[in-house]
Amino acid sequence: MALIVQKFGGTSVGSAERIAQVAEKIKGFKAQGHDLVIVVSAMSGETNRLIGLARDICADPDQREMDVILSTGEQVTIGLLAMKLKSIGIPAISYTGAQVRIETDSSFGKARIQHIDEAKLRAELDAGKVVIVAGFQGVDGQGNITTLGRGGSDTTGVALAAALKADECQIYTDVDGVYTTDPRVVESARRLEKVTFEEMLEMASLGSKVLQIRAVEFAGKYNVPLRVLHSFKEGPGTLITLEEDLSMEQPVISGIAFNRDEAKLTIRGVPDTPGVAYKILGPVSAANIEIDMIVQNVSKDQTTDFTFTVNRNDQRRTEEILRKVATDIGAREVAGDSAIAKVSIVGVGMRSHAGVASKMFEALSRHGINILMISTSEIKISVVIDEKYLELAVRTLHSAFELDAPEQDSDHI
């Protein structure tokens, strides 16, 4: 008998019919003798509806009150699922984040979990009940309701699994696992049987939407085995684990991630003096704008060009900041470009294989794809290219690193 934490996303509980399907799935696991803690999101579309209501009332809603409103979406789902389970003979009880006592800091809208009191959950499990917990939410030290940010239900699931020392945390979603890349771009993409926390963290940060980054970080920190599964299709899914696959067939590259939500900013004619990078990036960081890739050109005539990327939604604000910075430091001009995309190859196998970067660059050049920026780490290489070449680049690299699925067996590496 295992203790399993299962998390179901918004599409999985998006209607009464789907909640009933989830209940039947839970009934099957309970029949096998497992102890179950279930974490659910708000029904699909509900969070956006609540945000819309708040903005109809106030153009700039108070964040504390926004958290009060948004937390109700998950509260509806836990109640409905508990009712359905009871109606089919499965003892169940629902809890909000505050009732469990998922304690967070007071950063409304993006709170971080600090402690979970698991005593109440253990008592209910010992009584034979399925415990259903609202994802995405907690409570701070003053008793205020807090939310964990978009995708926070994944983090709730992993955090509960860590606190309870669960045997596995299963994330149910609308895909049947983690793929080598998005199957909508590359039809021959393969489902990975296993991937390391390191690789998953890189893929999540680089554009893969399967799991929330914070959830992967949490799972890696506390070594919680994660499994991504399809809500309504049977299959083994993808296991995310601390251990690397040491088999001889382990590929050098595990996956290709991409992100269209990038913008490139360049400040030209920057005086090449000590501290100038801070003078440029300091004000951007102070505005809570996350900076990704950075390139500084070789100095010429005591001036240089400084380029970096941000999320496309932050482009306008960043340009405004840079124009003021340019005036203050005596730079020549500021230019922005949103018609770019980032493509990344990820794999722990890169540590023990030389020539990965040159193979990537050669494959792209063969198809006339120009590289605008490059960033590397131990297990990933990212390039910024013109957005119009994004899908061609992904398909090219997927083929170059032999990630395409075998025709007869697309489910195995």
The reply to whether 147 falls in a domain is yes
Question: What letter represents residue 112's amino acid?
Answer: R
- Residue 184 annotated as lining a ligand binding site: yes
Does residue 170 sit in the same domain as residue 40? yes
DSSP, collapsed to helix, strand or coil, labels residue 377 as: strand
CATH of the domain at 349: 3.30.2130.10
pLDDT at 409: 45
- Residue 95 annotated as lining a ligand binding site: no
- Residue 238 annotated as lining a ligand binding site: no
CA distances from 151 to 3, 38, 67, 137, 338 (A): 23, 16, 14, 11, 25
pLDDT at 151: 78
Does residue 268 sit in the same domain as residue 391? yes
pLDDT at 294: 94
Domain span holding position 138: 3-174
pLDDT at 413: 33
Q: The tokens of 212 are what? A: 């929330």
- Residue 8 annotated as lining a ligand binding site: yes
- Residue 221 annotated as lining a ligand binding site: no
Query: Mind listing the pLDDT tens digit for each residue in 220-266?
Result: 999 999 999 998 889 999 999 886 654 444 568 999 999 999 999 99
Query: Which of 131, 156, 174 finishes a domain?
Result: 174
Neighbours of 107 (CB within 10 A): 14
pLDDT at 333: 95
Residue 137 contacts residue 96 (beta carbons within 8 Å): yes
**E strands, 231-331, in order:** 238-241, 255-271, 291-296, 303-311
- Residue 7 annotated as lining a ligand binding site: yes
Over the chain (413 residues), what is each successive 10-residue block's mean pLDDT? 94 95 96 97 94 93 95 97 98 97 95 94 97 97 93 93 95 90 92 91 82 87 92 91 60 90 95 93 94 86 92 94 96 95 93 89 97 92 96 96 70 38
Domain total in the chain: 2
pLDDT at 42: 96
- Residue 40 annotated as lining a ligand binding site: no
pLDDT at 245: 55
pLDDT at 302: 87
Does residue 169 sit in the same domain as residue 263? no
- Residue 295 annotated as lining a ligand binding site: no
pLDDT at 171: 95
- Residue 74 annotated as lining a ligand binding site: yes
